[in-house]
A and B are shown apart, each in its own frame.
Chain A
Amino acid sequence: MQNAPVPRFFRRTAVALSIGIASLAGAFPSFAWEPTKNVEFIVPAGTGGGADQMARLVQSIIAKHNLMKQSMIVVNKGGGAGAEGFLELKGAKGDPHKIVITLSNLFTTPLATGVPFNWKDLTPVRMLALDQFVLWVHKDNPAKTAREYIEAVKKAGPGKMKMGGTGSKQEDQIITVALEKRSGAKFTYIPYKGGGEVATQLVGKHIDSTVNNPIEAVAQWRAGNLKPLCVFDNERMPYKGKVAGDYSWNDIPTCKEAGVDTDYVMLRGIFMAGGVTPDQVKYYVDLMEKVRQTPEWKKFMEDGAFNQTAISGKEYADWVAKAETLHLGLMKDAGFLAPGKK
Chain B
Amino acid sequence: MDEKKPVTSMRVAELVMAGLFLAFGALVMWDSRRLGSDWAEDGPQAGYFPFYIGLLIVVSAGAIIFRALNLGEKGRAAFVEWGQLRMILTVTIPTVIYVALIANPWFSLGIYVASAIFIAFFMWHLGKYGWARIAPVSVGVMVFFFFMFEVWFKVPLPKGPLEAAFGFS
Contacts and interface: CB of A to CB of B under 8 A. Distances in A.
Interface string B93-122: 000000000011110101000000000000
A192 interface: no
Nearest to B164: A1
Given A38-B154, A73-B156, A188-B42, A1 B105 contact: no
A37 B104 contact: no
A9 B160 CA distance: 15
A4 interface: yes
Interface string A22-57: 000000000000001110100000000000000000
A71 B108 contact: no
A1 B108 contact: yes
B50 to A, nearest CB: 16
Given A10-B108, A37-B169, A188-B42, A4 B103 contact: yes
A172 to B, nearest CB: 18
A1 B158 contact: yes
A1 B158 CA distance: 6
A9 B169 CA distance: 18
A2 interface: yes
A40 B150 CA distance: 13
A4 B155 CA distance: 12
Contacts of B42: 159, 188
Contact of B156 (A6, A7, A40, A188): A40
A8 interface: yes
Contact of A1 (B154, B155, B169): B169
Contacts of A4: 103, 108, 157-159
Contacts of B157: 3-4
B160 to A, nearest CB: 6
Given A1-B110, A2-B169, A7 B160 contact: no
Interface string B124-165: 000000000000000000000000000000111111100110
A6 B159 contact: no
A71 B108 CA distance: 25
B154 A3 contact: no
Contacts of B168: 37
A277 B169 CA distance: 19
B108 A6 contact: yes
A267 B104 CA distance: 37
Interface in B64-93: none
A336 to B, nearest CB: 14
B104 A1 contact: no
| Contact residues on A (Cβ < 8 Å of other chain), bracket | 10 to 19
B169 A71 contact: no
Given A1-B164, A37-B168, A9 B156 contact: no
Contacts of B105: 6-10
A10 B155 CA distance: 22
A73 B154 contact: yes
Contact of A38 (B156, B158, B163, B164): B156
Contacts of A2: 169
A2 B108 CA distance: 11
B104 A3 contact: no
B35 to A, nearest CB: 12
A8 B104 CA distance: 10
Nearest to A3: B156
A36 B167 CA distance: 8
Contacts of A37: 167-169
Contacts of B167: 36-37
A11 to B, nearest CB: 9
Nearest to B155: A73
A1 B109 CA distance: 9
A92 to B, nearest CB: 12
A63 to B, nearest CB: 11
A1 B168 CA distance: 9
Interface of A: 1-4, 6-10, 36-38, 40, 71, 73, 159, 188
13 contacts: A1-B108, A1-B169, A3-B157, A4-B103, A4-B108, A6-B158, A9-B105, A10-B104, A10-B106, A10-B108, A37-B168, A73-B155, A73-B156
Give the top 7 A-B pairs by smallest Cβ distance, nearest first.
A4-B158, A3-B156, A7-B105, A9-B105, A73-B154, A6-B103, A10-B105
Given A38-B154, A38-B156, 17 more contacts: A1-B108, A1-B159, A3-B156, A3-B157, A3-B159, A4-B103, A4-B157, A4-B159, A6-B158, A7-B103, A7-B105, A8-B105, A10-B103, A10-B104, A37-B168, A37-B169, A188-B42
